[in-house]
Amino acid sequence: MLSYFRDNLGDLSDGLFFGLGLLTVYLGAVFTGALIRSLGGAGSMGLSVLGRYATGWFDYVRGDDRNTINITLNTVIDNHLKFDTIVADRRIWSIWPNAYRIYLIRRAAKQTTKDNPVLVFPEQMNGEHPLRGWITSLFVRSTIVEDGRRQRVHLVREDDYRATYSPLISLVSEKCSSDDSIDLTLGRAMNEYRFVIALTYEQLESRRARHLRAMVMWEQELLSLSDEMPRVSFEQHKTRYRTLLAIAREYRAHPERFGVVNVWRPKEVVAAQRVSLNLVAAPAS
């Protein structure tokens, strides 16, 4: 046996070193692949962070943030403009998951003006480019069964205003009407109030961050706003009141372009008429 090892020591050592070489190459390949994947992940994460930073800086210096939206309740009490936040700042993709819908909203925001900050969507034109119309028609066809017959039909495109305001109506209803709507269903006596929701993008004179804002106001009050500027807590709040006047003008002309939410309040709890804050009795000393 010893003589066999002495005679074949060279072959055995060559085989051992060859196997160790293959193992080294394999381990090196595994380590290199893991390193490349790690660097690739770190690089893509770095690019993502850098992209968010660059976008944030660009929005900051322009005072522009069309990625954020909030919902506010607006009212005038004792000739004093007051408002409160119903839904705090949210990213618009959490409201409208459809990226193309967000593109349409951003495009409409760019078209707003100082005199009319209410978002208006372009009307759907019938005379579009033939090639574009042919491509679009390929995706809007569907097969339905009607009266026992299968047929190909064109699907009806969703209305831009309805698709935009439906999520906002749901958010306001969730915040303001959940319990009272159940009581209404059970037969409790309620007062019903209509509140108008308007999606706006104010063009402010001063340099401050602009963003989408859904402004909510009691319909009866909105349609009776005075052209005279009420008292405001801060000078920049005058822009808010001018926006409300613009909403009132647009709502009178095109009510179908807005969202409307019904809010119920118990008759025995909430009076149907406005009560002045100045008439609230002071607590007894």
In angstroms, the Cα distances linking 183 to 178, 180, 266 are 9, 5, 8
CA distance 70 to 30: 50
Query: Is the pLDDT at 79 greater than 90, yes or no?
Result: yes
Query: Quick one: DSSP state of residue 121?
Result: P
Q: For residues 257 and 119, is the Cβ–Cβ distance under 8 A? A: no
The answer, as to whether pTM is greater than 0.75, is: no
**CB-based burial, 183-218: b 16+ in 10 Å, e otherwise:** ebeeeeebeebebbbbbbbbeeeeeeebbbbbbbbb
Q: What is the pLDDT of residue 217?
A: 96
Lowest-confidence pick of 31-35, 79-83, 206-210:
206-210
Q: What is the pLDDT of residue 74?
A: 96
pLDDT tens digit sequence for 157-189? 788 999 999 999 999 998 887 778 888 888 888
Domain chopping of the chain, boundaries: 1-62, 64-122+158-272
Query: Is the pLDDT at 133 greater than 70, yes or no?
Result: no
Q: What is the pLDDT of residue 35?
A: 62
